[in-house]
Amino acid sequence: MTSRTLTRLLGALAVVLVTSPPTGYAAPISLDSFNVAPGGTTVSGISSGGYMANQFHVAFSSVVRGAGILAAGPFYCAKGNVATALTDCTTPTALNPPDVGYAIRVTEDYAARAEIDRPSYLYDSRVWILSGTKDATVYPVVVDRLYEYYRHYVNHANITYVNTVPAAHSMVTDDYGHACDHAGDGNNPNDIFINDCDYSAAGMLLEHLYGRLRAPASTLTGTVVEFDQSEFLPNPVSHSMNATGYAYVPAACDDGAVCRVHVAFHGCRQQPARIGDKFYRHAGYNKWADTNKIIVLYPQTIHSDLPPVYNPRGCWDWWGYDDPNYAKQNGRQMRAVKTMVDRVAAGYN
């Protein structure tokens, strides 16, 4: 056990002893800072998390060097409208696919008003995209439009588009989850939307974003850290963010090695209240992060069944259910996650 880990555990114990929480309650602790080199931050996500990863990448392109996106469409696809999100941006007809031209115009407009970074920063980014051939929740044509959007801004040599994996709508792994073509049922609590396709999306996207990586760990040496998200967004539950977030910290990073940060956004119905630790332990990132000095930040949503924030599936805000500025740097969830990234990276020396 490292000294940092021991300090963290003692701090959490002190909180528990002082506040005397109910039995079974694990008090989240303050998110630590680590020796994170500038220029090594990347993001990824599946479904609503894919939309969140895209808008985070675009909005903060001066500091986010790349994105890996599964089953999502182009920037500002929903146009602030839930009906558009559930049609054009997921299961469109031939008459209403996502409008790439509109996405580009909004990008340019937001940048001109300094509400996001200049899109010229995107040129040197690295982008990895996946659309499962059996995905009936976000049609491949939607993901095609994401590919077109990125080709407008990013050096074409830096983009990889994987569209041959026979996956249903899911986080695609090489060793965990349902059968590859299993179409999850949101009403079935046993469906976790993680499918074993003998293909590691997490590993492939990380290797595309960072270059050649060491082989993944067979046994993890790091720690899953539980942290308090209310430090980054007051009263997070009222904005459909969970009170607790998670991070995977490799032992080398805990010991002070120079590391990098990757943010992994879960999809709808993958929040801990529904699937427990399945995403942040089994989506496939941690074993690659462990051997390659990558801290994986897992921010978390929570479902909300009642207005004014109606988000019954625990999705990320990519259509404006909580905030009309959802795709801008000052969007509540965007700003909260950016502040988490800044905290993790604040220990560079």
By the 8 A CB rule, do 142 and 97 touch? yes
Supply the pLDDT for residue 27: 55
Q: Is 228 labeled as catalytic in the residue annotation?
A: no
Say which of 44, 47, 131, 170 is annotated catalytic.
Answer: 47
* Catalytic residue (choose from 169, 178, 262, 282): 169
What's the pLDDT tens digit per position in 123-145?
Answer: 999 999 999 999 999 999 999 99
Closest CA to 148 of 167, 136, 131: 131
- pLDDT of 307 reads 85
Q: How far is CA 234 from CA 86, 231, 242, in A?
A: 29, 7, 11
Is 61 an annotated catalytic residue?
no
Active site residue 47: yes
Q: What is the pLDDT of residues 144-183, one digit of tens each?
A: 999 999 999 999 999 999 999 999 999 999 999 999 999 9
Choosing from 135, 254, 317, 323, the catalytic residue is 135
| pLDDT digits 0-9 by tens, 22-40 | 333 345 789 999 999 999 9
| Distant-in-sequence, close-in-space partners of 143: CB < 8 Å, separation ≥ 6 | 71, 72, 73, 129, 130, 131, 163
318-339 tens-digit pLDDT: 999 999 999 999 999 999 999 9
Q: Is the pLDDT of residue 48 over 90?
A: yes
The pLDDT, as a whole number, for residue 4 is: 60
The DSSP result for 17-59, as a single string, is: HHH-PPTT----BPPP---EEEEEEEEEEETHHHHHHHHHHHH
